[in-house]
Amino acid sequence: MANKKLVAGNWKMHGLSADLPEIAAIAAAASSYGNVDVALCLPATLIERAVRAVPGFAIGGQDVHSAEKGAHTGCTSAQMLRDAGAALTIVGHSERREAQHESDAEVKAKAEAGLAAGLGVILCIGESLDVRESGRAVEVVDAQLAASLPAETRDNLAVAYEPIWAIGTGKVPSVGDIGEMHAALRERLVAAYGEAGRGVRILYGGSVKASNAAEIFAVPDVDGALVGGASLKAADFLPIVAAAAVD
């Protein structure tokens, strides 16, 4: 049976209190789609206010530290996100893997910390353009996933395949390439977790828009999307949610 789709927005470093009405508009409309889970991963500074503004709607963070607490200036623990009312968090986004030099081992520790704190976790992986052009994308991303996966899965673990060259560029892999990658990632999840690996949602991310969402969602083993730029406005995001709601 197909997994229920998850459409999550990643607001990255966007969002001030003036944007709370936009979040409320997204949450209000999203609640009418019973067969799709919808979430917004916001800057840490907005989480608590957003949770108060849209009770019951899934608000998430974009990163957590792997430790519960300690001398880590500027970092946020998974418990802190939970305490602010977050339901989930992204870990291992390529922007952090690149700019903050996060390793697979660190991403794995972050994913485990998030799950242990009761957060849903969206674990990101994806290849560079060089790797895609070398023909080694599946091999490299599979190895990245194997090294980043938490030791044990939980119901609220999801994986997001985000080719780095597709993020914010308007470029999207062919549906054939997305399908090939998601099938390989599914095999990896089943190898790691047995049958439970079939229930781990595999999202696609990278230039998802209203115009391409339906064909991406129709690919086998695409269980939703992680959406950047097109998640900032209800008018752009809600058609993507609507496309996920079509069986």
Ligand X SMILES: O=C(CO)COP(=O)(O)O
Enumerate the active-site residues.
93, 162
Binding of residue 228 to ligand X (CB under 6 A): yes
Shortest approach of ligand X to residue 115 CB, angstroms? 19
Is 233 annotated as a binding-site member? no
CB 47 within 8 A of CB 85: yes
Question: Is residue 61 part of an annotated ligand binding site?
Answer: no
Helix (H) or strand (E) holding 71: none
Joined tokens for residue 212:
């391409």
Residue closer to ligand X by CB (options 197, 206) is 206
Question: Is residue 229 involved in binding ligand X (CB under 6 A)?
Answer: yes
Binding mask 164-203 for ligand X (x = CB under 6 A): ---xx-----------------------------------
Angle between helices 44-53 and 20-30 (to 10 degrees): 50
Q: Which stretch binds ligand X (CB under 6 A): 97-105, 143-151, 213-221, 227-235?
A: 227-235
Residue 7: which of 28, 33, 25 has the closest Cα?
33
Task: Check the annotation: does 5 bind a ligand.
Answer: no
What the block records as the tokens of 218 is 């129709």
**What are the distances in angstroms from CA 27 to CA 13, 120, 233?**
20, 18, 12
Interface pattern 92-121 for ligand X (x via CB under 6 A): -x----------------------------
Which residues on adjacent β-strands are paired with residue 205? Answer: 226
Which of 208, 206, 217, 207 is CA-nearest to residue 243? Answer: 217
Residue nearest to ligand X (CB): 228
Contact residues toward ligand X (CB under 6 A) are: 10, 93, 162, 167-168, 205-208, 226-230
Residue positions in the annotated binding site? 10-12, 168, 207, 228-229
